[in-house]
Homo-oligomer: A and B are copies of this chain.
Amino acid sequence: MANSQTELAVLAVLSIRPTTGYAIRELVHERLSAFWSESFGQIYPALARLREAGLIEVTPGERTGSALHSLTDAGREHLLDMLSEPPVAARPRNGVLLRLFFGDLLGPRACAALVQAAKERSERQLADLAAARAEVEAERAADPADATRTRYWLLTIAAGEHAARAAIAWADEALAELADLEAGENR
Protein backbone atom coordinates (compact mmCIF):
# COMPACT_ATOMS: atom_id res chain seq x y z
CA MET A 1 0.00 0.00 0.00
CA ALA A 2 0.93 3.63 -0.45
CA ASN A 3 2.84 2.47 -3.49
CA SER A 4 1.20 3.84 -6.54
CA GLN A 5 2.42 6.52 -8.88
CA THR A 6 -0.44 8.72 -7.76
CA GLU A 7 0.61 8.42 -4.16
CA LEU A 8 4.15 9.38 -5.12
CA ALA A 9 2.91 12.46 -6.94
CA VAL A 10 0.60 13.45 -4.08
CA LEU A 11 3.34 13.12 -1.48
CA ALA A 12 5.72 15.08 -3.70
CA VAL A 13 3.27 17.94 -4.13
CA LEU A 14 2.66 18.03 -0.39
CA SER A 15 6.41 18.37 0.13
CA ILE A 16 6.19 21.87 -1.31
CA ARG A 17 3.53 22.98 1.14
CA PRO A 18 0.46 21.55 2.88
CA THR A 19 -2.68 21.89 0.78
CA THR A 20 -6.14 20.57 -0.01
CA GLY A 21 -6.83 17.73 -2.42
CA TYR A 22 -8.33 20.25 -4.78
CA ALA A 23 -5.16 22.34 -4.81
CA ILE A 24 -3.02 19.26 -5.44
CA ARG A 25 -4.90 18.67 -8.62
CA GLU A 26 -4.59 22.38 -9.50
CA LEU A 27 -0.83 22.28 -9.18
CA VAL A 28 -0.54 19.09 -11.19
CA HIS A 29 -2.67 20.62 -13.92
CA GLU A 30 -0.85 23.92 -14.04
CA ARG A 31 2.73 22.92 -13.49
CA LEU A 32 3.04 19.24 -14.40
CA SER A 33 0.47 18.84 -17.15
CA ALA A 34 3.17 18.49 -19.82
CA PHE A 35 4.36 15.24 -18.27
CA TRP A 36 1.90 14.16 -15.59
CA SER A 37 -1.82 13.96 -14.92
CA GLU A 38 -4.08 13.16 -12.00
CA SER A 39 -7.83 13.09 -11.57
CA PHE A 40 -9.90 13.72 -8.46
CA GLY A 41 -11.02 10.14 -8.56
CA GLN A 42 -7.44 9.11 -7.86
CA ILE A 43 -6.34 11.92 -5.56
CA TYR A 44 -8.97 11.63 -2.85
CA PRO A 45 -8.70 7.86 -2.38
CA ALA A 46 -4.91 8.25 -2.41
CA LEU A 47 -5.12 10.88 0.33
CA ALA A 48 -7.30 8.55 2.39
CA ARG A 49 -4.82 5.69 2.01
CA LEU A 50 -1.87 7.90 2.83
CA ARG A 51 -3.58 9.17 5.97
CA GLU A 52 -4.47 5.61 6.91
CA ALA A 53 -0.81 4.66 6.54
CA GLY A 54 0.30 7.56 8.72
CA LEU A 55 2.23 9.23 5.91
CA ILE A 56 0.21 12.43 5.98
CA GLU A 57 -1.88 14.22 8.56
CA VAL A 58 -4.86 16.47 8.16
CA THR A 59 -5.50 19.76 9.89
CA PRO A 60 -8.44 22.07 9.26
CA GLY A 61 -7.38 25.25 7.46
CA GLU A 62 -7.09 28.45 9.51
CA ARG A 63 -9.74 30.61 7.88
CA THR A 64 -11.44 28.12 5.57
CA GLY A 65 -12.48 24.85 7.15
CA SER A 66 -10.96 22.88 4.28
CA ALA A 67 -8.67 19.94 4.97
CA LEU A 68 -4.98 20.77 4.76
CA HIS A 69 -2.85 17.68 4.18
CA SER A 70 0.76 17.75 5.30
CA LEU A 71 3.57 15.21 5.32
CA THR A 72 4.46 13.44 8.55
CA ASP A 73 8.08 12.47 9.19
CA ALA A 74 7.23 8.95 8.04
CA GLY A 75 5.66 10.44 4.92
CA ARG A 76 8.72 12.48 4.09
CA GLU A 77 10.87 9.40 4.48
CA HIS A 78 8.56 7.29 2.37
CA LEU A 79 8.56 9.98 -0.30
CA LEU A 80 12.35 9.88 -0.51
CA ASP A 81 12.21 6.08 -0.79
CA MET A 82 9.71 6.25 -3.62
CA LEU A 83 11.64 8.95 -5.46
CA SER A 84 14.74 6.77 -5.25
CA GLU A 85 13.03 3.84 -6.91
CA PRO A 86 13.52 3.58 -10.67
CA PRO A 87 10.76 5.39 -12.57
CA VAL A 88 8.20 3.07 -14.12
CA ALA A 89 8.09 3.35 -17.89
CA ALA A 90 4.79 4.47 -19.36
CA ARG A 91 3.32 2.08 -21.90
CA PRO A 92 3.57 3.83 -25.25
CA ARG A 93 0.28 4.48 -27.06
CA ASN A 94 0.54 7.01 -29.83
CA GLY A 95 -2.62 6.99 -31.89
CA VAL A 96 -1.18 9.32 -34.53
CA LEU A 97 1.80 7.10 -35.25
CA LEU A 98 -0.38 3.99 -35.24
CA ARG A 99 -2.56 5.56 -37.93
CA LEU A 100 0.48 6.68 -39.87
CA PHE A 101 2.03 3.22 -39.78
CA PHE A 102 -1.10 1.95 -41.48
CA GLY A 103 -1.23 5.13 -43.54
CA ASP A 104 -2.00 3.51 -46.88
CA LEU A 105 -5.40 2.60 -45.47
CA LEU A 106 -6.29 6.24 -44.84
CA GLY A 107 -4.36 7.76 -47.71
CA PRO A 108 -1.92 10.68 -47.77
CA ARG A 109 -4.49 13.48 -47.42
CA ALA A 110 -6.03 12.16 -44.23
CA CYS A 111 -2.59 11.38 -42.85
CA ALA A 112 -1.43 14.90 -43.60
CA ALA A 113 -4.42 16.23 -41.68
CA LEU A 114 -3.44 14.08 -38.68
CA VAL A 115 0.16 15.25 -38.83
CA GLN A 116 -0.90 18.87 -39.23
CA ALA A 117 -3.15 18.59 -36.17
CA ALA A 118 -0.31 17.02 -34.20
CA LYS A 119 1.98 19.83 -35.29
CA GLU A 120 -0.51 22.41 -34.08
CA ARG A 121 -0.80 20.69 -30.73
CA SER A 122 2.97 20.84 -30.39
CA GLU A 123 2.97 24.52 -31.30
CA ARG A 124 0.37 25.23 -28.66
CA GLN A 125 2.41 23.17 -26.22
CA LEU A 126 5.46 25.26 -27.04
CA ALA A 127 3.56 28.47 -26.40
CA ASP A 128 2.24 27.13 -23.09
CA LEU A 129 5.75 26.19 -22.06
CA ALA A 130 7.05 29.65 -22.92
CA ALA A 131 4.34 31.12 -20.70
CA ALA A 132 5.22 28.68 -17.92
CA ARG A 133 8.88 29.60 -18.27
CA ALA A 134 8.06 33.29 -17.88
CA GLU A 135 5.93 32.55 -14.82
CA VAL A 136 8.61 30.49 -13.16
CA GLU A 137 11.25 33.11 -13.85
CA ALA A 138 9.02 35.81 -12.38
CA GLU A 139 8.49 33.65 -9.33
CA ARG A 140 12.21 33.20 -8.95
CA ALA A 141 12.76 36.95 -9.11
CA ALA A 142 10.02 37.51 -6.52
CA ASP A 143 11.30 34.90 -4.07
CA PRO A 144 15.03 34.22 -4.41
CA ALA A 145 14.82 31.60 -1.66
CA ASP A 146 13.16 29.35 -4.23
CA ALA A 147 15.98 29.76 -6.72
CA THR A 148 17.19 26.16 -6.50
CA ARG A 149 13.71 24.74 -6.82
CA THR A 150 12.95 26.84 -9.87
CA ARG A 151 16.10 25.63 -11.62
CA TYR A 152 14.71 22.09 -11.42
CA TRP A 153 11.37 23.32 -12.71
CA LEU A 154 13.07 24.93 -15.68
CA LEU A 155 14.75 21.62 -16.50
CA THR A 156 11.36 19.99 -16.92
CA ILE A 157 10.16 22.91 -19.05
CA ALA A 158 13.23 22.56 -21.25
CA ALA A 159 12.45 18.86 -21.72
CA GLY A 160 8.98 19.77 -22.98
CA GLU A 161 10.40 22.40 -25.30
CA HIS A 162 12.92 20.03 -26.84
CA ALA A 163 10.22 17.41 -27.36
CA ALA A 164 7.78 19.90 -28.88
CA ARG A 165 10.36 21.37 -31.26
CA ALA A 166 11.35 17.86 -32.36
CA ALA A 167 7.71 17.00 -32.99
CA ILE A 168 7.30 20.13 -35.11
CA ALA A 169 10.43 19.45 -37.13
CA TRP A 170 9.30 15.89 -37.76
CA ALA A 171 5.83 17.06 -38.75
CA ASP A 172 7.29 19.36 -41.39
CA GLU A 173 9.34 16.52 -42.85
CA ALA A 174 6.36 14.20 -42.76
CA LEU A 175 4.07 16.72 -44.45
CA ALA A 176 6.56 17.09 -47.29
CA GLU A 177 6.79 13.33 -47.71
CA LEU A 178 3.01 12.98 -47.62
CA ALA A 179 2.61 15.67 -50.25
CA ASP A 180 5.02 13.72 -52.40
CA LEU A 181 3.06 10.52 -51.83
CA GLU A 182 -0.13 12.26 -52.86
CA ALA A 183 1.49 13.65 -55.99
CA GLY A 184 2.63 10.13 -56.84
CA GLU A 185 -0.91 8.80 -56.43
CA ASN A 186 -2.37 11.39 -58.79
CA ARG A 187 0.24 10.89 -61.46
Size of the A side of the interface (Cβ < 8 Å), in residues, is: 62
A98 on interface, CB distance cutoff 8 Å: yes
One complex includes copies of this chain to the number of: 2
> Using a CB-CB cutoff of 8 Å, which residues 80-125 of chain A contact chain B?
80, 83-84, 86-106, 110-111, 114, 117
A96 to chain B, nearest CB (A): 5
Tell me which residues across on chain B come within 8 A of A155, comparing CB atoms: 100, 103, 174, 177-178
As a 0/1 sequence over residues 16 to 46 of chain A, the CB contacts with chain B under 8 angstroms (1 = contact) are 0000000000000001111111000000000
Q: Is the interface of A mostly helix, strand, loop or mixed?
A: helix
Tell me which of B36, B91, B104 contacts A148 (CB under 8 A): B104
Contact in complex: B12, A98 (CB < 8 Å): yes
Of residues 163 through 187 on chain A, the ones whose CB sits less than 8 Å from some CB of chain B are: 163, 165-167, 169-170, 173-174, 177-178, 181
A170 to B163, CA, bound (A): 9
- CB-CB under 8 A from A9, the residues of chain B are 98
Given contacts A31-B101, A79-B105, contact A111 B163 (CB under 8 A): no
Q: Can you give 12 contacting A-B residue pairs, CB < 8 Å?
A: A35-B98, A36-B94, A36-B97, A37-B93, A80-B105, A87-B96, A89-B95, A90-B92, A97-B159, A102-B152, A104-B152, A158-B174
Q: Which residues of A contact B (CB under 8 A)?
A: 5, 8-9, 12, 15, 31-37, 79-80, 83-84, 86-106, 110-111, 114, 117, 148-149, 151-153, 155-156, 158-159, 162-163, 165-167, 169-170, 173-174, 177-178, 181
